[in-house]
Amino acid sequence: MAERDQTPAHEIRPLTQEIPERFIPVPTVEPGHTFASVTDQISAIVLRKKMPFLWWVGMAASCVGVMVLTATIGKLLLVGVGIWGINHPVGWGFDILNFVWWIGIGHAGTLISAILLLLRQEWRTSINRFAEAMTLFAVSAAGLYPALHTGRPWYDFWLFPYPNTMSLWPQFRSPLMWDVFAVSTYATVSLLFWYVGLIPDLATLRDRARGKFARVIYGMFSLGWRGSAKHWFRYESTYLLLAGLSTPLVLSVHTIVSFDFAVAQVPGWHSTFFPPYFVAGAVYAGFAMVLTLAIPARKMFHLEDFITMKHLENMGKVMLATGLIVFYSYAMEAFFAYYSGNNFERYMWLNRVQGPYWKMYAMLLVCNGLAPQLMWFRRFRTSTVGLFIVAMFVNVGMWLERFVIIPTSLHRDFLPSSWGMYHSTQWDWGMFIGSMGLFFFLLFLFVRFLPMISIFEMRTMLPEAQTHPEGHEA
């Protein structure tokens, strides 16, 4: 911990009075760290006996959430989906809304771990593990919704193609079936990617752990990793290949999620620009959630050396860029509605702005249109409080976006005789709060038992890791 008392290099250099402070790059790892100090500081978070008081508070709150979820699912299994607010004409309410919200949040993890790896964005290194865990838990929370929305979840295995006595197949031409394949592949590949990244760090924990039980458990999961040069060679190649596979995968997943809507004929859903719109929204929501989680975690576990202001600022920039794409999409929705000349399309948009749910649309514009504009200013991008507030606006905004798309489009479609209203019930909120509880429960367990920053990748970030400073072989 002594390293942090030294003044970081970027705070010394402005004394020369030559380079303005804003042009001095903020480092991705604070100077003064060695292989040993990086290893010890990150693994100590996991291997220590006592967790900070705030961890216990968070864990207790998440456990309450999990209990709410259990109770809600119990009631749902006993009574049925009628306890939710869904009705005719709004057959997709909170369940699909939250599914899309959660799965979108997950996408930032894959973006950080795969796409930024391929783009050689080195700053991703200290946040990728955390973001991948977030992906995994967000997908777990998302998966609950469609599984329970089927009404008889004990028959959910019918979604998978298997030889059955009914001689029936799933409908492979349906976007909902594509969704089953996309989401289950996404969950599986994300888990593999995350686990492969963890193997060398599990070996580090195996070698550092004092208790026999911890040694055995970490030893089992590290698969006997010994850091052999031959193993590393294949490992790096595999990691890069997985990143290359995950990149089109993550784009395909939200594209297919958007097909759930775009392939249908409902005004407000039937749009060709849904796939890029949804993918940008997913990245936007995901980065907001990474910020929401990273800012407190960084503080709680004293990780300012590894998750520097540079990481937070870069995430703010990604949030701004994707936020602008999302806002552009809102403008295009309005333009298409006008320019299509189609009565139903036009009415759909007027109904969003003036109809019974106009407040949702207005709040959406504030959260996703106005709030991210603060990210233009360096003062907000480099302030943890500023970033956190904007990230919370985005979290809410992306939830509102799905509300505007799903129930608002459904509640007034072609025939005025089939119009209706959607009102969520306490059980809808129970599911929503419960899924948040599950997400945070898994996340708190993760930071307790696994290194939340990739230790071996942090070692490669240090200057002493370079073996060939002069002659770089291709």
Partner 1 sequence: MGIGKVRTGMYGVIAEFTSPAELMSAAEAARDAGYTEMDAFSPFPIHGLHEAVGMRSTGMSALVLGGGIIGGLSGFFMCWYANVISYPLNIGGKPLNSWPAWIPITFECTILLAAFAAVFGMLALNGLPMPYHPVFNVRRFDQASRDKFFLVIQARDPKFDLDSVWKFLEALHPREVVDVPW
Q: Which residues bind partner 1 (CB under 8 A)?
A: 34-36, 39-40, 161, 167-170, 172-173, 175, 177-178, 181-182, 185, 188-189, 192-193, 195-196, 200, 203-204, 206-208, 219-220, 223-238, 241-242, 245-246, 248-249, 252, 256, 259, 456-457, 459-460, 464-468, 473
Enumerate residues 6+ apart whose C-beta is below 8 A from 148. 73, 76, 81, 95, 431
Query: Is 191 in contact with 136 (CB distance < 8 Å)?
Result: yes
Rounded to whole angstroms, the Cα distance separating 422 from 437 reads 25
Q: For tokens 């990739």, what's the residue?
A: 454
- Nearer to partner 1 by Cβ, of 177 and 321: the residue is 177
Shorter beta-carbon distance to partner 1: residue 29 or 367: 29
Q: In whole angstroms, give the CA distance from residue 156 to residue 152.
A: 7
Nearer to partner 1, 1 or 24 (CB): 1
Q: C-alpha distances in angstroms, 102 versus 94, 208, 278?
A: 12, 35, 13
Q: Provide the 3-class DSSP secondary structure of residue 454.
A: coil
Q: How far is the CB of 223 from partner 1 (least distance, A)?
A: 4
Quote the least distance from Cβ 224 to partner 1, whole Å: 4
One-letter amino acid for residue 432 of the chain: F
Least distance CB 180 / partner 1 (angstroms): 9
Residue whose C-alpha is closest to residue 137's, from 111, 113, 102: 102
Q: Say if residue 456 is exposed, middle or buried (CB neighbours under 10 Å; 0-12, 13-18, 19+).
A: buried
Shortest Å distance, C-beta 128 to partner 1: 15
Q: How far is CA 346 from CA 137, 340, 413, in A?
A: 39, 8, 11
* Spatial separation of the C-alpha atoms in residues 83 and 168, rounded to whole Å: 30
CB 401 within 8 A of CB 326: yes
Closer to partner 1 by Cβ: residue 305 or 457: 457
Give the separation between CA 138 and CA 262, rounded to whole angstroms: 23
Closer by beta carbon to partner 1, 34 or else 426: 34
Query: Minimum distance from CB of 41 to partner 1 (Å)?
Result: 12
Taking the complex as a whole, the smallest distance from the CB of residue 168 to partner 1 amounts, in Å, to 7
Q: Which amino acid is at 407?
A: P
190 or 408: whose CB is closer to partner 1? 190
For the CB of residue 230, give the shortest distance to partner 1 in the complex, in Å: 5
Question: Which residue, 35 or 358, is less far from partner 1 as judged by CB?
Answer: 35
